[in-house]
Amino acid sequence: MSGQPSSVDQSDRIVPINLRQSGRTPTELLISTRVRKSPYWHLSHAAGCWRATVYNRVYHPRGYVRPEHGGAAAEHEALTKHVTLWNVAVERQIRVAGPDAERFVDYVITRDATRIEPMRARYVILCNEKGGILNDPVLLRLSVDEFWFSLADSDLLYWLQGVNVGMRMDVAIDEIDVCPLQIQGPKSLALMADLVGGRIRDIPYYGLLEAEIAGCAVVVSQSGFSGEKGYEIFLRDATLHAETLWHAVLEAGRAHELAVIAPGHQRRIQAGILSWGQDIDHETAPFQCNLAYQVPRKKAGDYIGRAALERMRAEIAAGRPPFRMVMVGMTLGGKPIDDYAPDFWLVSDAGGGDPIGYLTSPWYSPELGCNIALGRVPVGRSAVGAELRVWLPDEYASRPGQPDRAQVCEVPFRPSVNPSARELAHARGEDAAD
């Protein structure tokens, strides 16, 4: 499958997803001043980072264990059996602060910001006027009048500042010198207790804690991008204190078999956690990707995209969804997929004819003993149990040039050890069934 397939109907998009099958095309990553180096960049390099990408215009480590020493599988084992440290400074922090902070935040997110208490966080989405997802950050509420957006991979700062040009609310909207690290894995609580004390045991999922580590001021959140037990450490004045925090975590981690790894995408796929820019984008509606619970029916205040989202919900209820493709989970045949996919691999009907969809996030799950993936297929092919075929590259295909079996399945593939954002929303009465 080479070239650009014309048979995947993307007529509901303005800019179709590029489905050209270019394969692995190794090039050297140019390190220059056009892209930001985080305060932890040199520390990641010293820890063995051998490859990187760019996320939020910041260099982002994406591999520490080289393939000949186990590669991503070894990093996955460390994450699921011990505890790991991730450099996620690419999650740039945008602060909205001032007397109108709650009112402004409530207007730009779909969920009800008034129900987020100080020292709590939530997974949220922001949509444009068409109902497309602009970003799906974790939103931290530090106080009555201060919020931090911990960003996924899109330039939200300029959007928020632009929105307020028209709204003229009494808020300051700026990026701040705060850079997070993630501590993820079953031993994360024990490590965090060594770093900040027993108070960490009392914070709930998405709870926040002000603390110090090695004299550095931090905000700790019980959250993460893995599906394992985990925490995020948000370092204040990060450009000054990055080395101190990093080395303090490494030192405390020795007793817990800490490993420095890249974000655990095998595990996040298992947990059904979406990656903005890979699984969703600004032309994706929440109803296409299992985020309908983020669109409440009874939110008191208006918000950007509300009219479009409510119209979509009515069209779906009437059996006329305004989109062709939806996100599903799939189990796949083929040889174990052991690295990031360089292309959106194509999906066909059970007969193996022309492509009708594509995978967005495939990987091998050692716990399930098969390849799994998130992907987009037509609405009419999205029912659990639907039989499909997937065109894997020769390195993973059971037979080169032939499609492998795929089947739509429930997501998550393997539950998170934490309550999901959907479950938390239901528990608070915030979901779309309101």
Q: What is the pLDDT of residue 403?
A: 97
CA distance 336 to 309: 39
Kindly compute the dihedral angle of the four CA atoms of residues 25, 78, 345, 274, in this order, to the nearest 10 degrees: -120
Beta bridge partners of 408: 330
Of residues 202 and 431, more confidently modeled: 202
> How many Cβ atoms sit within 10 Å of the Cβ of residue 45?
16
Phi, psi dihedral angles at 303 (to 5 degrees):
-155, 160
**Which of 165-183 are b and which e, b meaning 16 or more Cβ less than 10 Å from the residue's Cβ?**
eeeebebebeeeebbbbbb
Of residues 415 and 38, more confidently modeled: 38
Mean pLDDT, residues 279-297 taken together? 97
Question: What is the per-residue pLDDT across 59-70, written as a single tens digit (0 to 9) for each?
Answer: 999 999 999 999
* Cβ-Cβ contacts under 8 Å for 27 (sequence gap 6 or more): none
CATH assignment of 1-29+274-284+324-434, among 2.40.30.110, 2.60.40.10, 3.90.226.10, 2.70.98.10: 2.40.30.110
Q: Is the pLDDT of residue 423 over 80?
A: no
Question: What is the per-residue pLDDT across 324-374, written as a single tens digit (0 to 9) for each?
Answer: 999 999 999 999 999 999 999 999 999 988 999 999 999 999 999 999 999
DSSP state of 367: T
In this predicted structure, which of 9-13, 148-152, 207-211, 252-256 has the lowest mean pLDDT? 9-13
Question: What is the per-residue pLDDT across 183-198, written as a single tens digit (0 to 9) for each?
Answer: 999 999 999 999 999 9
When pLDDT is cut at 50, 70 and 90, the band that residue 428 belongs to is low
User: Quick one: how far is CA 180 from the chain centroid?
Assistant: 15
Question: What is the per-residue pLDDT across 106-136, written as a single tens digit (0 to 9) for each?
Answer: 999 999 999 999 999 999 999 999 999 999 9
Of residues 152 and 434, more confidently modeled: 152
- Sheet with 208-213: list strands edge to edge: 208-213, 216-221, 230-236, 178-184, 83-87, 258-260
- Element holding 44 (H helix, E strand): helix 41-46
CA distance 93 to 106: 18
pLDDT above 90: percentage of residues in the chain:
93
Q: What is the pLDDT of residue 2?
A: 58
The model carries a pTM of 0.96
In this predicted structure, which of 106-115, 121-130, 272-281, 418-427 has the lowest mean pLDDT? 418-427
Q: Is the pLDDT of residue 422 over 80?
A: no
Q: Is the pLDDT of residue 285 over 50?
A: yes
Q: Is the pLDDT of residue 433 over 60?
A: no
Strands 126-127 and 387-391: unpaired
2 burial (CB, 10 Å; 0-12 / 13-18 / 19+) is exposed
When pLDDT is cut at 50, 70 and 90, the band that residue 418 belongs to is confident
Mean pLDDT, residues 89-109 taken together? 98
Q: What is the pLDDT of residue 4?
A: 74
Mean pLDDT estimate for the chain = 95
Whole-number CA gyration radius for the chain: 21
Q: Is the pLDDT of residue 205 over 50?
A: yes
Mean pLDDT, residues 162-175 taken together? 97
CA distance 25 to 342: 8
Question: What distances in angstroms separate CA 357 from CA 89, 389, 396, one per listed residue?
Answer: 33, 10, 19
**Which of 353-370 are b and which e, b meaning 16 or more Cβ less than 10 Å from the residue's Cβ?**
eebbbbbbbbbbbeeeee
Beta bridge partners of 349: 388
Q: What is the pLDDT of residue 434?
A: 40
* Cβ-Cβ contacts under 8 Å for 318 (sequence gap 6 or more): none
CA distance 293 to 279: 17
First-residue to last-residue Cα distance in the chain: 46
Mean pLDDT, residues 42-58 taken together? 98
Domain boundaries, the chain: 1-29+274-284+324-434
Q: Which token pair is 94?
A: 């945008």
Q: Is the pLDDT of residue 232 over 50?
A: yes
User: Which residue in 397, 431, 174, 151 sits closest to 291, CA to CA?
Assistant: 431
Mean pLDDT, residues 219-230 taken together? 96
When pLDDT is cut at 50, 70 and 90, the band that residue 426 belongs to is low
Specify whether the CB–CB gap between 330 and 409 falls below 8 A: yes
Q: Is the pLDDT of residue 432 over 70?
A: no
Mean pLDDT, residues 146-160 taken together? 97
Question: What is the per-residue pLDDT across 81-93, written as a single tens digit (0 to 9) for each?
Answer: 999 999 999 999 9
> How many Cβ atoms sit within 10 Å of the Cβ of residue 422?
17
Q: Which token pair is 276?
A: 């903005």
Q: What is the pLDDT of residue 419?
A: 78
Handedness of CA 227, 230, 236, 241 (dihedral sign): negative
Q: Is the pLDDT of residue 171 over 60?
A: yes
**Tokens 């990987």 -> residue:** 363
